[in-house]
Amino acid sequence: MKIQILHLLSGAEQARGLTVIIDVFRAFSVEAYFFARGGEKILAVADSAQAYEIKRQHPEYLLVGERHGVILPGFDCGNSPSELVKLELSGKTMVHTTSSGTQGIERARGASQILGGSLVTAKATAEYIKHSGAEEVSLVCMGWEGQRKTEEDELCANYIKSLIEGTSFDIEKEIEDLKRTEGAKFFNAAQKDVFPRDDFFLCTDYDKADFVIRRKESVGGFHIMEKISI
């Protein structure tokens, strides 16, 4: 099995084979908690205008996401797991649009299969890959808005790779270090409305899920994401 680690929007475009689009802070952590709390289906959308239109046609759907980290006007919830879990999610469909994660899914057109990756689903993702029979695996670190590398996504890619290969990885130390790098914003009182402190701990609760998030199909410009139990 050939495993490559790629970066940002350009990395998503280069991805081939079984591809994991990684967005720890916070897109695919949000999607993991949505499914864990009984959510039924996610429509991942790159274009916010399309997200609004889907909500107009289906007012019962949850509209979740952000631009520049900030909740978009009229959305039911920002891209925040600690806010999302306060909502009634059982049986719901979520329309999800973000600056990094959903953009990566849209750009990964050369992938044979796409998973949404986070620390929450890391172990399950590694197990899925190991049993997939894939000859080529692309781990894509989306970073900040697909333009700047960030430590949490690099950490996640390297952790998943270590789990697949059976090599050692000090995940606890790496997560602690995040508090002083990209994760510092969650501990900044001035940014608490956009980056709640609880989001850091939910997003770094590694190996919590016993499922992966997989793109089922693409329909009309959006991507249907499903939960696959491991």
Q: Please, what are the domains in the chain? A: 2-229 (3.90.1560.10)
Q: How far apart are CA 22 and CA 5, in angstroms?
A: 10
pLDDT for 221 equals 85
What CA–CA distances, in Å, run from 209 to 27, 30, 150? 15, 12, 23
Q: How far apart are CA 136 and CA 44, in angstroms?
A: 24
Could you report the per-residue pLDDT of 133-170, keeping only the tens digit for each?
Answer: 999 999 999 999 999 999 999 999 999 999 999 999 99
3-state secondary structure labels for all residues of 65-108: EEECCEECCCCCECCCHHHHCCCCCCCCEEEEECCCHHHHHHHC
> What whole-number percentage of the chain has pLDDT above 90?
99
CA distance 193 to 40: 28
Whole-number average pLDDT of the chain: 98
Residue 1 host element (H or E): none
Which amino acid is residue 113, in one-letter code?
Answer: Q
6-28 per-position pLDDT tens digit: 999 999 999 999 999 999 999 99
